[in-house]
Chain A
Amino acid sequence: MGKRTIIPFGPQHPVLPEPIHLDLVIEDETVVEAIPSIGFIHRGLEKLVEKKEYTEMVYVIERICGICSFGHGWGYCAAVEGAMDVKIPERAEYLRTIWHEMSRIHSHLLWLGLLADAFGFESLFMHCWRVRETVLDLLEKTTGGRVIFSVCKVGGVRKDIDNETMKEIVDTLNGLKKEIKELTDVFLEDRSVKNRLCGVGVLSKEEAIELGTVGPMARASGLRQDMRLEDSHGIYEQLDFEPVIAEEGDSYARCKVRIGEIFQSIELIEKAAFKIPDGPISVEVKGNVEGECVTRLEQPRGEAYYYAKGAGTKFLERMRVRTPTNQNIPALVKTLQGCDLADVPMLVLTIDPCISCTER
């Protein structure tokens, strides 16, 4: 046994935009143990349900995380609508699905860029984010904001997309496919990138089940687990959805799964835009919230569940959000054991950490 040193990683470091602190116990450049320490982003916003009415609380829940913002808004609205037994119009469901899939595309492109930056390939990072800007322009055109959309409300959505804009969205995304393919080929086929990704941070199927991983991290280890199959929300059943699965369980497999999901999202948007019905985009919701409801949603990072409980007043009694990164942190600690010190930033990124989601 060599001599052990403890290296502190974070909270301020160049690779991740978010603060997370890891104490890495290393022995001659190999990480033996990793002890995470979180709490830098904890705002305690679940307690704000006591001060803000349930219609205003959407804006707070949306700002749990800027990257998965739309998913949080949708999950909260779905939970409150479930508690109040409100059925929203079908056009609103389709619109929410389209926006959520666009949000998934932009989140995965962001992740690809950050991964490239983590192993030093800065020009690839720049190209990925350049392509992502086109998607953000589409989102701004339809919702008004690039990052925080503020377009979900209890009872439906606040803005509509007309047929012309819908066609433009589908055409632009199809045109982007070629550019995205060129960039993702670099991730999947370039020799120097593969050297950094293959065989690093392996998580076997049994370990994934035992640690309770969710999202692309679980699907990369061979688990067929995707909330879009459960169809407790959205219209995925009508879109013939099949999740993207890989078997190897290492960083390369996770990269493959997320790249596959980008192309799958573009196809899903095309199918939804073809099938979307005409009609109203929201119903008026009045009165107080009584009862409780749980909804589950497949965010870009995995399964998130939302619990809302009302006690008969305009203020909710309890609101609880369980985010996917929260569930993936034990898997992170497991994959870090036995890796090289130089691979640590890259491994932290493969779980697609969203620390502001974890700590709320």
Chain B
Amino acid sequence: MATFKIGKVVLKSLFKKPATLMYPVVPRQWQERTRGHIGIDESSCIVCGICAKKCPANAITVNRNKRTWSIERMQCIQCNCCVEVCPKTCLTMENQYTEPGGEKVVDTFEIPKQEKVADGGKDSAGGGLTCNLEDCVYCGLCAKNCPCDALTVDRKEKVWKVDESACVSCGACVEKCPKKCLSLDGGEVPAADKKQADGATEPAYSRPEGEDGLRCKLSDCIYCGLCAKTCPCDALEIDRKAKTWKLNEDACVNCGACVNACPKECLELV
């Protein structure tokens, strides 16, 4: 058995250059793939909200009406999911980490309205939703998933049509398209906002203020019925043609599943 076997290592380290990186005096050189924080290019963003849906930590919030994209830096797990699913590749993973501080940082970005770009080969339907017909395979998944039945797709005749009066630019079809040939340009004001601009100046709710429970902002509601489909207690009744939204108070357990499912974010639990 030997003694002081570590002597060799200790002597070597006396004469070698120290291994310390001398941070913070010497700034750190990042590797190429280092994951630090998420950056966004506002000019390309189309406020579709897919990044917010895919974020595993729910760190991203996208408000389509106000056109803002915000991220809670203290909730982001730097998984890179949002960067990969963004249809316009406007998100990037930067190498530098978010600076620590005394408050929980929430960064909000205003997304400017985009100019409608005339693109050869694209069939512009005029309502903001466009399909790149060169890539389209007429599978019909977009029509199946449309909550407003605004799309008509015929595989044999190779026809793709959108009913712009019904389309509310919720973006569900864009997410479902397997060939990623759909996009919402967001140039025109969607139908729901037009309704609000012409009609009531104040938002209308399904129950008066001050009452607790689930309530729906009826002025934004498009009666798509997604909330009723998600409800685990069958407490909601939506009639699209009659434009009614009804809640069975006894069955509702305030779980909030419908709030997350609503594409227009018009539900809230008070």
Contact = CB atoms under 8 A, between A and B. Distances in A.
Interface of A: 52, 56-57, 59-60, 63, 123-124, 127, 130, 133, 137, 140-145, 148, 150, 158-159, 182-183, 185-186, 189-192, 194
B34 A189 contact: no
B54 interface: yes
B10 A190 contact: no
B3 A142 contact: no
B77 A140 contact: no
Given A144-B33, A159-B33, A150 B79 contact: yes
Interface residues of B, number: 26
Contacts of B93: 144
Interface centre among B3, B5, B13, B54 (most CB of A within 10 A): B5
Contact of B33 (A123, A140, A194): A140
Given A59-B77, A190-B3, A191-B1, A127 B33 contact: no
A190 B56 contact: no
Contacts of B80: 144, 150, 158
B241 interface: no
B6 interface: yes
Contacts of A194: 1
Nearest to A195: B1
A25 to B, nearest CB: 34
B156 interface: no
A150 to B, nearest CB: 5
A144 B34 contact: yes
A190 B31 contact: no
A143 B79 CA distance: 11
21 contacts: A56-B54, A56-B56, A57-B56, A59-B56, A59-B79, A60-B56, A123-B10, A124-B6, A127-B13, A140-B31, A140-B34, A143-B33, A144-B31, A145-B78, A158-B84, A159-B33, A182-B9, A186-B6, A190-B1, A190-B2, A190-B4
Interface of B is mostly: loop
Interface of B: 1-6, 8-10, 13, 19, 31-35, 54, 56-57, 77-81, 84, 93
Nearest to B33: A144
B3 A191 contact: yes
B246 to A, nearest CB: 26
A189 B1 contact: yes
Nearest to A141: B31
A145 B8 CA distance: 33
Contacts of A56: 54, 56, 81
A127 B9 contact: yes
